[in-house]
Structure 1
């Protein structure tokens, strides 16, 4: 290739690259409203964004991968935690963990009810933005050392699987199918419940839940179930049928657990979840 040919090649390649860049830019702008869920930006969302910035939430938390990475990523938080839970948490975070053991993890911001509602509206808008699968998984906080997940607990213990985990034994095993549902149903049970003993997340640990259910049915139970399987089924489909007074998992007699599983799951799927939970030791 002589100098003239090299010059023409460089000019042509630059022109093609520029055209491709312009085409991609125009296409991105064409899709911005859809990708960013712009149609759902309400005055409450805008106010919530201002609350987010005014309280420097990004100094600890991240959204869309931007932030301090000190506290959990909140990009999809409203899909993992319902409004009642988030409202109660922001009113007084210290009720959700033992400060004497774990220090002050989340400061009490003394937000008003409107600020809390607007902040949740903002986070809900964030959670519905098409972020192409980012973050790949949420960062979860448990009742153990921050940050904790079942995987972290297993790694700390030097094991390859979380405590109380059971292997998937076959396609026809109800408990195995229930384990898959536990991790795949939306919202995922595993997003709020650990199966590691003593590791409480947004919901209590489910390790040994069958034995605890037996004790509960014998004393202090307010629901209608008469056996462990019935209690587990009731807990999945009617989570407010029995709540523990004073526990951090409910407010005003209403459980923070979504009450939608009874409609979203078939009776067979509920039975599979019950079989899996009954198998946890």
Structure 2
């Protein structure tokens, strides 16, 4: 290829690349409304976006992989945690952390109830945007990590959180999830698709609802929290035939929690797990 041919090739290749780029850009813009469910945007969602910017949430968190990386990406947080959990967390994040263990914590922003409600609506809308698989890795919500589970009960008991009788029951329930004897983290993960000795608790609310609606359900619960409570105090009340977590109709889950936990603690643990979407 001589110089003239090389020049022509470069010009044509550049032109084709430019046309492709412009075409893809136009195509993307034409689909923005469909991909983002723009028709679902309400004044409350718009206000929630304004709250996100007002308090500079992006200085620590990310959406769609964009932002700072000091704290978790929140693109799908509304699909991982229920509204009640998110409200309790935003009201007072300190209930969900041990300052000595975790050091860098989310500050208490003193959001109004309206700001909290609309910020959650905004994050729910974000979670439903068709982001075409971006970021290219699953975003996991912190909690119940395999590292803690591998270390066993002693390590989990050290994860003491500043919970009090006045704290939200979901915060106390998360604390119990780590510190109950035996520790729930020894067998259960809170991460989607991460199976340890027991099933992942991610999506527990939906799992419980589906089980209750199934004609094969053999327990006595009538609602989600009741089912979770039953699974804690009487794990063999309902077992899934053929699964790897039971044998001969008997669950592998310990049946000693009625002795080691009070009824109030079981309720708090159930409240936390019922917030897992």
TM range (shorter): 0.5 to 0.7
Q: Deviations over 1:101-156 (max 9, x none)?
A: 545612111111100001101111111111122342223223xxxxx722x44688
Query: Any stretches of 5+ residues in structure 1 without a counterpart?
Result: 143-147, 166-175, 190-202, 223-241, 261-281
Post-superposition offset of 1:99? 3.6
Deviation beyond 3 Å, 4+ runs, structure 1? 98-104, 152-157, 162-165, 181-189, 219-222
Conserved in 2, the CA contact under 8 Å of 1:182 and 1:188? no
Q: Hey, what does 2:274 align to over in structure 1?
A: 257
Pairwise CA RMSD: 3.8
Aligned residue number for residue 109 of structure 2: 109
Contact 2:87/2:116 (8 A) holds in 1: yes
Aligned partner of 1:149 in structure 2 is: 145
Q: Which is further off, 3-12 or 90-99?
A: 3-12
Provide closer, same or farther for how the CA distance between residues 156 and 221 of structure 1 changes in structure 2, counting only shifts above 3 A.
Answer: closer
In structure 2, what is the equivalent of residue 24 of structure 1?
24
Partners in 2 of 1:3 and 1:36 — Cα distance?
Answer: 48
| Maintained 8 Å contact 1:45/1:119 | yes
> Where does the alignment leave 5 or more consecutive residues of structure 2 unmatched?
153-184, 189-194, 208-227, 233-251
Trace 1:22-171 onto structure 2 (pairs within 5 A).
Answer: 22-99=22-99, 101-103=101-103, 105-135=105-135, 136-142=137-143, 149-150=145-146, 152-153=147-148, 163-164=186-187
Q: TM-score, normalised by structure 1?
A: 0.57
CA 1:25–1:187: 2 relative to 1, 3 Å: farther
Q: Hey, what does 2:267 align to over in structure 1?
A: 243
- TM-score of the superposed pair, with normalisation by structure 2: 0.58
Corresponding residue for residue 3 of structure 1: 3
> How many residues are aligned here?
195
Structural mapping, 1:261-276, within 5 Å: none
Q: Classify 1:64/1:182 alpha carbon distance in 2 versus 1 (closer, same or farther; 3 Å).
A: same
Corresponding residue of 1:263? none
For the 8 Å contact 1:35–1:129, the answer to whether it is kept is yes
Is 2:206 the partner of 1:210? no
